Amino acid sequence: MPEAISAILTYGFSEMGLHRIEANPGAENTPSRSILFKLGFTFEGNLRQRYFFRGYYEDAHYFCLLEDEWPKR
Query: What is the pLDDT at residue 62?
Result: 96
Q: What is the pTM of this model?
A: 0.84
Query: What is the pLDDT at residue 16?
Result: 96
Q: What CATH class is the domain 2-69?
A: alpha beta
Q: Domain ranges in the chain?
A: 2-69
Query: What is the pLDDT at residue 71?
Result: 80
Query: What is the pLDDT at residue 72?
Result: 64
Taking a C-beta distance cutoff of 8 angstroms, is the pair 69, 57 a contact?
no
Q: What residues of the chain score a pLDDT lower than 50?
A: 73
Query: What is the pLDDT at residue 24?
Result: 93
